[in-house]
Amino acid sequence: MSGRAARAHGQGQARRASFGFREVDLDEKQGLVDEVFDRVAPRYDLMNDFMSGGLHRLWKDALVAWLSPPRRTRSYEVLDVAGGTGDIAFRIAGRSEGVRVIVGDINKEMLAVGQERAATRGLDGTVTFEEANAEELPFEGGRFDAVTIAFGIRNVPRIDAALGEAFRVLKPGGRFLCLEFSSVDIAWLDRLYELYSFNVIPALGQLVAGDRQSYQYLVESIARFPNQARFKMMIERAGFQKVEYRNLTGGIAAIHSGWKL
Ligand SMILES: C[S@@+](CC[C@H](N)C(=O)[O-])C[C@H]1O[C@@H](n2cnc3c(N)ncnc32)[C@H](O)[C@@H]1O
């Protein structure tokens, strides 16, 4: 199935969710996603570099540049939802003296890798790691100055619930930024990207991590994710205002930004 056909096929369907190209019960999806990240956690960072040729680093830099946290602060607090091994949090901490970042993720294996990386970088006072489900965040409303999520939201079964929770935990005036794979609108690049995704990435997963299946899920989940315009509408439906997006690398990824005003 082509990426576009899969996207069209995967829309709608209450109580069902797509796990890659498979339709599963909504309540079944999280367990399947957790199994994927249990398996990939030890090689997650290495595989990101292999699969994207290092591009994910530039995309993450772009998210943090757009967030533009204060250079010096005493009170700025960010929640990085589905923050995994801490890439976004470390970048924010690197740009902002006095910032506090909480990495919330549902997966203990990913958090453990992140915690170890934070300790190695001497950031364990600035960046903290907490088990948190994006659909039911364990934080009081109106707490955070910014909520970020990178390559996480397409894994969450109830995307609307996660967007609603991001809105709830933000302060009035707070900022939401989401980096996610998106839709390429340059025909030749789309074709090339699709060929690369479906042929090279699962093979790389097998070669580097001995795990084809998890990387097959990864590329299928990307193909199923709503395009830029649809995702923008979902963010607006959650209550955010001034929602806009920027394409990265021809739309292979996109950053969406919204404000709680
Ligand atoms: C592709 S990784 C992204 C990690 C990190 N943000 C990055 O950009 O490198 C996706 C992450 O989403 C997390 N995740 C999946 N479902 C989640 C949920 N319901 N709530 C919170 N995190 C979730 C996974 O455990 C995993 O760490």
Residue nearest to atom 14 of ligand 1 (CA): 82
Residue nearest to atom 6 of ligand 1 (CA): 83
**Percent of the chain clearing pLDDT 90 (strictly above):** 89
C-alpha closest to that of 148 among 104, 200, 192, 211: 104
CB of 151 within 6 A of ligand 1: the answer is yes
Q: Ligand 1 center to residue 106 CA distance, Å? A: 7
Tell me what the mean pLDDT of segment 188-210 comes to: 92
pLDDT of amino acid 112: 97
Q: In terms of DSSP bridges, do strands 22-25 and 170-181 run parallel, antiparallel, or are they unpaired?
A: unpaired
The tens digit of pLDDT for each residue in 40-80 reads: 999 999 999 989 999 999 999 999 999 999 999 999 999 99
Tell me what the mean pLDDT of segment 144-173 comes to: 98
Please, are residues 97 and 71 in contact by the beta-carbon 8 Å criterion? yes
In ligand 1, the atom with minimum distance to the C-alpha of 134 is 20
CB count, 10 Å around CB of 75?
9
Please, are residues 254 and 227 in contact by the beta-carbon 8 Å criterion? no
pLDDT of amino acid 221: 94
d(CA 82, CA 106): 7
Tell me what the mean pLDDT of segment 168-179 comes to: 98
Location of structure tokens 């909480």 = 102
CB of 222 within 6 A of ligand 1: the answer is no
Tell me what the mean pLDDT of segment 145-157 comes to: 97
Location of structure tokens 């294996």 = 109
The tens digit of pLDDT for each residue in 105-121 reads: 999 999 999 999 999 99
Tell me what the mean pLDDT of segment 240-247 comes to: 98
Please, are residues 41 and 129 in contact by the beta-carbon 8 Å criterion? no
Listed in sequence order, the residues at least 6 apart from 174 whose beta carbon sits closer than 8 Å to its beta carbon are: 144, 145, 146, 147, 259, 260
CB of 251 within 6 A of ligand 1: the answer is no
d(CA 29, CA 8): 19
Please choose from 45, 88, 106 the residue to mutate so as to test ligand 1's pocket, defined by most ligand atoms within 8 A of CB: 106
Please choose from 37, 113, 218 the residue to mutate so as to test ligand 1's pocket, defined by most ligand atoms within 8 A of CB: 37
242 falls in which pLDDT band (50, 70, 90)?
very high
3-class SS letters over the chain: CCHHHHHHHCCCCCCEEEECCEEEEHHHHHHHHHHHHHHHHHHHHHHHHHHHCCHHHHHHHHHHHHHCCCCECCCCEEEEECCCCCHHHHHHHHHCECCEEEEEECCHHHHHHHHHHHHHCCCCCCEEEEECECCECCCCCCCEEEEEEECCHHHCCCHHHHHHHHHHHEEEEEEEEEEEECCCCCHHHHHHHHHHHHHHHHHHHHHHHCCHHHHHHHHHHHHHCCCHHHHHHHHHHCCCEEEEEEEEHHHCEEEEEEECC
pLDDT of amino acid 10: 46
pLDDT of amino acid 14: 57
Please choose from 151, 154, 214, 217 the residue to mutate so as to test ligand 1's pocket, defined by most ligand atoms within 8 A of CB: 151
Please, are residues 177 and 63 in contact by the beta-carbon 8 Å criterion? yes
Tokens at 213, concatenated: 């299946």
